[in-house]
Every structure is written in C-alpha cells, then in structure tokens.
Chain A
Amino acid sequence: MGISLVIDVLLALGLVGLALQVVAGPSLFRSIVLFVVFGLVMALAWARLHAPDLAMAEAAIGAGITGALLLMTYRRLVELNPEKRGETYLGSRWLAAPVGVLTGVLVGLIGWAALQLPPGDTTAGTLARDALDETGVSNPVTGVLLVFRGYDTLLEMGVLLLAFLGARAVASGRAHSPGTSEVSEPALVGALLSLVVPLTILVGIYLLRAGGHAPGGAFQAGAVLAAGGVLLSLTGRLVPTDHTPLVQRLVLVLGLLVFSGMGLFMLFAGSAMLSLPGTWAIYLVETALMISIALPLALLFAQAPGLKGRGH
C-alpha cells in the first residue's frame, strides 16, 4: 500500500505544480506545451482513481484535439499580432487573487460535500449497477449514458450542434484554412497520414464496439474520428468549403434524428420515451452519435462550415 501511496502523491504534486506553471508561466507557448503535459498526467491520475473511462476521454480529447487546437490558436495570435509576440496575452492580474480564493472555497465546499455523502447501498450508482442487466450492455457507463439518462445524452448532442451553429454565427468572412497547403510540407507527412488516419477509423470503431462491455463508446470513438479529421485538415488534405454540403448537414443532425426517432418510435410502440429495444438499438444509436460527434468537432477545429477533399 505504501508504494501506491508514493505514486499517488507524486501524481498529485505533479498535477498541482503543472497547473501552477500553466496559468502563471511567463510565455504562452510554454503554457500550451505544459497544458498538454498536464493532460497526460491527468490521464494517469484518472487511471489511479480506477476511472479508465475518464482517462480515455482525456486521451481522446486532450491528445487528439485540444493540443492541436491551442497550437493553431497560438499561430493565429502570432499572425494577427506579430509585434506583440513577447506578450503572454494574460488579462489583468488583479482579478487573480479573488478568483483564486473563490475557486478555493468552491473546491473546499465540493470536497466537504463529497465527504458528507452517505456511504453504502442506497446511492443512485448502486441502484444503476444493480439494474444494469436489464440494459443489455455490461459497461455501466454506456448503460447509464444511453439507458438511464437518455435525455441528458440526447440534449448533449443538441448542445454540440448548437455549439457548431453558434461558431458559424460568429465566424466572419472566408474560412481560414489551418492547413499547411501553401508551403512545402515535410516529406514524412504523407507517410504518417497514410498510417495514422486509417488507424483512427479502426480504433474509433473498435472503441464503439468495446463501449458495450468496457470503457469506450460513442463519445471517445467520435473524438478519435475527429482527431483523424483534425490531422487531415492540419495537413491541408481537407479544405474548408463555403457552405455546408447536404451530406454533412445530414451527418450533423444524424445522432439527434436517430436517437429521438428511436425514442419516439418506442413511445408510440407503447414503451417509455427514449427506452431502447435491445442491444442492437444501443449500438445503432451509438454509431449515429459517434458520427454526429466526430463531424462537428472536426468542423469546429477547421473553423469551417464544411470540409472537402483537396482538389475537389
């Protein structure tokens, strides 16, 4: 037990130290790299907390999208404001102390509330786990997401779609291509893409399939697919279009349509709204959700209303 305690203390100290360096560091680029490292250590912490689902989400989003997104944002900042390179873009610092104190109070309150939680058998988690056999999936996270709290998951899909629409509403002018198409690219990029992009599709489908009985599922799978799209638009293989093509419009709403359609169908079939008639329905909805999660994430990254292959 003593040795695992050492591991946990090292990870906790590392997380706090990294977080401090990220927010208080002297240069923006350094903070971005440290934030990526923070995500790695955070995944290790989730693993130590027996939460492989969260570690997986951290891996898919953190390694696949956030790091590249921050670097691209940094690139835009430098392009927009080359003479301000030395600045760290930190806002006014006088807010730091009160915000820090309030956040500390909040964290303390949450920790105190967590300690007051009743132990034992009557919590919602225990009830959900006991009822898991009825859902047809053996992974409790997927069971809860799709069966016990279907409304939340459905509305989360709506939120993602709204985020995409909101980004389109405030985006101005021509889509900015984040790609490197205009400059000569390093020789290894093509080889890397031909290796990694098919693997993201394979791994995405594997995670979707694994989600039934192990950590995985639509969200992680969609994020991995989106990471493939991010890679393609970073390297200029996918370029922004002026409008969203019809197929991509359909894909954007596919998850909402399939999930709510299935839910309504069950309502009229005499069952409860959003109840799912078996494992096949869970996988069907999960597949639709995966696709409808992947596309808006990739489009948001590319700041584009739609994407098309280069040269088309």
Chain B
Amino acid sequence: MNTALSLAVIFLIINLAAGLVRVARGPSPEDRMLAALLFGSTTVAVLLILAQLMEIPALRDVALLFGLLAAIISVAFVALPADHDRDEEDSWR
C-alpha cells in the first residue's frame, strides 16, 4: 500500500516536471499562469497522499489552504494590464 502511494507521489511529481516545461517556455503569460495553477492542484494531491503516507494529518490542512488560496493569484493575474499590443509578442512578460 505504501509503495503504491509512494509511486503515486513520484508520478505526480514527474507530472509537475512536465508542467514546468510549459511554465518555463510559455510562450504567452496565460500559458505560464495556467500551468502554475495546475501545479497548485497537483500539489494539493501530493499533500493529501503524503498526509496518508507519512501519517501527518496536518498536511490535509496545508492542502486545504492551497486549495482555498489558489484563486488569489489568478485574480491578481487578471488585474494585470491587458495586452493591447500583442504583436510584439511577449518579450516583456
């Protein structure tokens, strides 16, 4: 059972690494931000599994916090100035 949970954690972390490619390469700011939000969900999953695996129930509270607060960064992102000149694609973001 523990082996299965550990393998699940490793699988999810490798998922993170794959998503990291999108954050690193973009190209658009939306790509990066959506990948980062996906990271948040995956982190919640990893924390929930670790709570079971390491028998630290408090990690479920940490997962709760990440789930609750994930929306804030996306609201802050929406508040960024809109791209009126998307032609010069993103040298600055």
Contacts and interface: CB of A to CB of B under 8 A. Distances in A.
B56 A224 contact: no
A230 B58 contact: no
B32 A59 contact: no
Interface in B40-73: 40, 43, 46-47, 50, 54, 56-59, 61-62, 64-66, 68-73
The secondary-structure label for the interface of chain B is: helix
Contact of B59 (A27, A52, A192): A52
Contacts of A79: 81
Contacts of B65: 56, 59-60, 63-64, 203, 220, 224
Given A33-B33, A59-B62, A85-B91, A67 B10 contact: no
Given A56-B62, A215-B58, A7 B6 contact: yes
Interface in B1-22: 3, 6-7, 9-10, 13-14, 16-17, 20
B39 A63 contact: no
B29 A29 contact: yes
A251 interface: no
Interface of B: 3, 6-7, 9-10, 13-14, 16-17, 20, 23-24, 26, 29, 32-33, 35-36, 39-40, 43, 46-47, 50, 54, 56-59, 61-62, 64-66, 68-73, 75-81, 91-93
